[in-house]
Amino acid sequence: MGNLPKLKPHQRPSLIAGLSHVSVKGMEHGKGLVFSFKHFDRTQGQNFEDWESNQLLSKMLNEFHGYCLRPHFAECLGSKFTVYGKFPGVSKFKHPKQVPPDADWTRIHIQGEPCVIGHMFQNIFYVVFLDREHQFWPSAKKHT
C-alpha cells in the first residue's frame, strides 16, 4: 500500500465524472434568481469595502444565497424584496448612464435600513447601489 506511485493530475480520476446524475437542464433561463454586478455604480452609495468593514457584505451575500436557492424568482418577492418600477422622483441617487432608462428598479433589505438597490430583467437582479442609509427611496420614519 505504501509503495503506490503518486498520480499526476491528469492521471487522477475526475471528480466531475462522479456527478453524472447532475444535469444543466434544471438550470433553464427564467426560473431561479441570478445576481449580476454588471451595472454596479462605484460613484454613489457605498463600496464593498465599506460594507465589509460594517459587517454588511457577508449579510448581503448570505441573503443573495438564500434567494438563489428558491426555484422560482416569484418566490423572492415580499417585504424585503420589492420591485419599485421606475426610478424614484425624490432620491439621493442619480440614474446611472449604464442602466437602461426603462429599468424596473428593485430593492432588497439586508438588515434594518441597509438595502441593495438594483433593477430586474427577467430573473436577473442587476446590483447598482449599496445603500446603507436607505437614501435611494427615502421614506418617513415610522414610530418616532
The residue extents of the domains of the chain are 34-131
pLDDT in tens, 76-117: 888 899 999 999 999 999 999 999 999 999 999 999 899 999
The better pLDDT of the pair 138, 85 is held by 85
Closest CA to 60 of 121, 141, 131: 131
Alpha carbons 108 and 30: distance in angstroms, whole number: 19
Query: Is the Cβ–Cβ distance between 131 and 119 less than 8 Å?
Result: no
Element of type H or E holding 117? strand 115-121
CATH architecture for segment(s) 34-131: 2-Layer Sandwich (3.30)
Hunting for cell 424584496 — which residue is that? Answer: 81
Strands (E), 24-103: 34-36, 81-85
Task: Report the predicted TM-score, pTM, of the whole model to 2 decimal places.
Answer: 0.76
